[in-house]
Amino acid sequence: MMLKLLIHVLFSVTVSAGVDIDPNGYILYCPCMGRFGNQADHFLGSLAFAKALNRTLALPPWVEYRFGEPKSVQVPFSHYFELEPLLKFHRVIIMEEFMENIAPKVWPPEKRTAFCYMARGQGTDCNAKEGNPFGPFWDTFNIDFVQSEFYGPLNYDVHHQDMARKWNSRYPSQKSPVLAFTGAPASFPIQLENKDLQKFLVWTPRIVNRAIDFIRNVLPIGAFVGIHLRNGVDWTRACEHLEHSPNLFSAPQCLGYRNEFGIASQDMCFPTPDAIAKQVKLAVKEYHAKSVFVSSDNDHLIPFLTKALKRMEVTVHKLANPEPHVDLAILGRANYFIGNCISSFTAFAKRERDANGLPSGFWGFPSNRASATKQKHEEL
């Protein structure tokens, strides 16, 4: 009896202490470029990269910049998104769990190498923790790097040039169990081949429930049009670069990756209030909408649009305390969506809607089509 009890105890300790180690290795990275839209583009590319190299991807926290905070704030990945859908595509683990259970076994402090294409900043190494959010991000997990590894001329395009094999040949998991990148191993904007991975990004019930609650209890019964407005000072300055950057930011989502559908214009990047009202009216009429939901980084144009849509008896709404992620979840459920072609925030909403077969359009594009229905952008 005592022997059986001893065996049971030993077995229980072994199971609780046992951690499955991926022999193919792991990928870590800092989502250190831009805000949520940019980070989401990079995440989907990093997911594709991890899949191609057949390494487990450590899901990094989302980097947020909050008013009054001197440094970036790291929000756990699972705060916004479910893990199960991602696991249907590839092996993932939240970074917090990786650092607690896996890192001590495969990535001890004395073997932590930072990977970058070439020297970053001052000096001759990756300087992986130089600046904000780089330093605060790695400090969140008490990570310091003891050396740097320049991986050039390799790149992240695993859909061409037999790149995955080249990575695994140069950095086999036996010698490099962890590839920790100073930035995301992905391109921006998102590579065309990776857009469909959006279907594996599923909001948590917390986000979904808030979106549904708003739609049911704030918006009037009936169809609604969702719109995204970028009109802050920083966006005004960004739009000034269109002349020299015809494929600025997420412009390929409507213009094509080689500008095969045209070039970006000010009407697309920073439409006038009158142009916005005109396009919204067309969409409202086409979809028999009873309301309009507005998401914006600055001015929601609520009074202006309310007046413009008064005769149509259409109401205009926004979240009382706007939260970007809930905004996106609401936009993803609109009967029709109009966004900013240049914006990666719009790009997230557009990809989610594409994954669910819902129609979308863009401000000022295409310029030669009159109705909201005809404005639906076909999949690139």
Whole-number pLDDT of residue 18: 62
Which domain range does residue 129 map to?
26-192
Residue 307: enclosing H or E segment and its boundaries? helix 302-308
Q: Identify whether residues 101 and 174 lie together within a single domain.
A: yes
Q: Identify whether residues 36 and 86 lie together within a single domain.
A: yes
Q: Identify whether residues 245 and 186 lie together within a single domain.
A: no
Number of folded domains that form the chain: 2
pLDDT tens digits, one per residue of 260-269? 999 999 999 9
Task: Check whether 59 has a pLDDT greater than 90.
Answer: yes
Whole-number pLDDT of residue 54: 98
301 — pLDDT class (breaks 50, 70, 90): very high
Average of pLDDT values for 58-85?
A: 96
Q: Identify whether residues 156 and 248 lie together within a single domain.
A: no
Residues 282-320 as b or e (16 or more Cβ within 10 Å = b): bbbebbebbbbbbbbbeebbeeebeebbeeeebbbbbbe
Residue 224: enclosing H or E segment and its boundaries? strand 224-229
Task: Check whether 289 has a pLDDT greater than 90.
Answer: yes
Q: Identify whether residues 126 and 228 lie together within a single domain.
A: no
Give domain status of residue 13, yes or no.
Answer: no
Whole-number pLDDT of residue 5: 41
Q: Identify whether residues 268 and 290 lie together within a single domain.
A: yes
Q: Identify whether residues 127 and 227 lie together within a single domain.
A: no
Give domain status of residue 7, yes or no.
Answer: no
Whole-number pLDDT of residue 122: 82
134 Cβ neighbours under 8 A, 6+ residues apart: 30, 32, 128, 182
Pick from 15-24, 309-318, 346-355: least confident: 15-24
Residue 106: enclosing H or E segment and its boundaries? helix 103-106
| Residue count (the chain) | 380
Q: What is the mean pLDDT of the chain?
A: 92
pLDDT tens digits, one per residue of 333-351? 999 999 999 999 999 999 9
Q: Identify whether residues 99 and 221 lie together within a single domain.
A: no
Task: Check whether 353 has a pLDDT greater than 50.
Answer: yes
Give domain status of residue 157, yes or no.
Answer: yes
Task: Check whether 16 has a pLDDT greater than 90.
Answer: no
Q: Identify whether residues 347 and 219 lie together within a single domain.
A: yes
Q: What is the CATH number of the domain that holds 362?
A: 3.40.50.11350
Q: Identify whether residues 181 and 219 lie together within a single domain.
A: no
Give domain status of residue 152, yes or no.
Answer: yes
Give domain status of residue 49, yes or no.
Answer: yes
Q: Identify whether residues 134 and 266 lie together within a single domain.
A: no
Q: Identify whether residues 118 and 252 lie together within a single domain.
A: no
pLDDT tens digits, one per residue of 113-169? 999 999 998 889 999 999 999 999 999 999 999 999 999 999 999 999 999 999 999
